[in-house]
Structure formats: C-alpha cells, structure tokens
C-alpha cells in the first residue's frame, strides 16, 4: 500500500464530492438575467454551459482520485507510474493555477484563505510526487 497516493486519491475524491454538490448549488443559484448570451444560445444556455464545464472538473477529480486509490492499493501494477505521473502533473498544474489566481486577484492576505482548493490541490500534488518516487 502506498499511503501517499491513497491520501492524495482521497483528497481528490472528497474534493469531487464537495465540488459536485456544493459547487453545483452555487452554479444553480446564478441569476440567468445577469449572464451574457453566448454563440450557442441565450443566457440560459450560458448557465447550462457553465454547469457542464463545472462538472467536467468534478469528473476529472473523480477519475484521478480513483486512479490514485487503485494505484495505491496495487503499486506494483505496470500502469502505476504512469497514473501517478499524470495525476501528479495535473494536480501540480491545478495547484499552481489556483495559487496564481489568488495572487493575481489581490485583496490582501484575507483572500489567501477564502477557498481551500489551491492548498489541497498542492498538498495532493506533493503527496503524489512523494508516493510516485517509491514506485
């Protein structure tokens, strides 16, 4: 058992649950009238596209998380390094992007702690790379 990959997988799957349930409620609460039209339709279509895009990310969290858990349980699988490296690069990119967005947004130190995703994604990336080193 590779505990680093297992914990990173749990972070990803847990994040998917929160992203999918809580995030969907937030997206559903968007006021259609405040949204712009898009090339594919009206304001309702824009809300629908936001929701679909939102859940693409949710699905990515689930797939990476379950892949990491599978690799953690069977670390001698020939696919283990590939799954770990793809997940590690993905989580690192998401973490860097999230932290970069916080920095670019500005607003002082308070904005650094408004959303845990950049730090959880970065923690997962560190765990993945640590776990991948022992495969």
> Residue for token digits 């693409």?
56
Mean pLDDT of 103-119: 83
Q: How confident is the model at residue 80 (pLDDT cuts 50, 70, 90)?
A: very high
For residue 111, pLDDT beyond 90: no
Q: Tokens for 59, please give them.
A: 């699905």
DSSP assigned state of 115: -
Mean pLDDT of 126-134: 97
CA 30, 32, 36, 41 dihedral sign is: positive
Q: How far is CA 17 from CA 10, 26, 87, in A?
A: 11, 14, 18
């Amino acid at each position: 058992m590779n505990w680093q990959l297992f914990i990173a997988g749990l972070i990803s799957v847990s994040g998917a649950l929160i992203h999918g349930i809580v995030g969907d409620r937030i997206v559903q609460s968007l006021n259609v009238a405040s949204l712009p039209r898009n090339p594919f339709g009206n304001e309702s279509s824009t809300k629908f596209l936001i929701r679909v895009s939102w859940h693409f990310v949710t699905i990515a969290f689930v797939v990476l998380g379950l892949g990491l858990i599978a690799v953690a349980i069977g670390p001698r699988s020939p696919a283990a390094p590939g799954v770990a490296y793809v997940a590690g690069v993905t989580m690192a990119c998401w973490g860097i992007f999230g932290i970069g967005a916080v920095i670019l947004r500005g607003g002082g130190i308070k904005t650094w702690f408004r959303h845990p995703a950049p730090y959880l994604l970065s923690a997962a990336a560190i765990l993945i790379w640590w776990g991948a080193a022992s495969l």
